[in-house]
Structure 1
Amino acid sequence: MTLSLRVFVVCIVLAFSFVSPASALQNSGGNLTKSEAAERARKAENGRVLKVEQTSKSYRVKVLKKSGRVVSVDVDKRSGNVKTSKER
């Protein structure tokens, strides 16, 4: 094994050691998963997730608030931005 190949292998190993497994999974493909979208919606509305539907560019999440009201929230797949029914 040549010196330049050894240096290359060491650089690759070091680069991967700084990437956490959670961030590697989240960023694969650049899109949020259904569970990530549900969690963002739950936090934004402070309620319980009832249903998650997938559209081409976002997830539509239905959340039951503590008041008993059900609200729909759109979570962008790429950016993760949450839009409530008021903002649409």
Structure 2
Amino acid sequence: MTLSLRVVMLCIVLTFSCANTAIAQQSNNASITKSEAAERARKAENGRVLKVEQTSSKYRVKVLKKSGRVVTVDVDKRSGKVKTSKDKD
């Protein structure tokens, strides 16, 4: 009886420790989604999103402004910070 109780307790402890590790990894790798990046770029440039490309560290979003100019905006995957690149025609 004592041995089976120890085995059950060990299984419970291992289950919780694995769950905590998975949760910690998810929070460390938290990143914004492609649609969130598009929305942030759209708001920053006050235009219409044409295209969203993904790299390992950022999203590159092309936005059509009301003036007719196309601008490229980089959105950091982790922080969600928007950085505007140079204007393109």
The TM-score with structure 1 as length reference comes to 0.64
Structure 1: any 5+ residue segments left out of the alignment? 1-26
Which runs of structure 1 show a deviation greater than 3 angstroms over 4 or more consecutive aligned residues? none
Deviations 1:65-84 (A, max 9, x none): 00000000000000000000
Shift of 1:53: 0.1
Counterpart of 2:39?
Answer: 39
Counterpart of 1:4?
Answer: none
| Aligned-partner SS, 1:78 | coil
- Aligned counterparts of 2:28 and 2:36: Cα–Cα separation in 1: 13
Tell me if structure 1 keeps the 8 A contact 2:29–2:78. no
Structure 2: any 5+ residue segments left out of the alignment? 1-26
Tell me if structure 1 keeps the 8 A contact 2:62–2:70. yes
Q: Percent of aligned pairs with the same residue?
A: 83
Matching residue's letter, 1:62? K
Counterpart of 1:57?
Answer: 57
Question: Aligned pair count?
Answer: 60
Deviations 1:25-46 (A, max 9, x none): xx79411100000000000000
The TM-score with structure 2 as length reference comes to 0.64
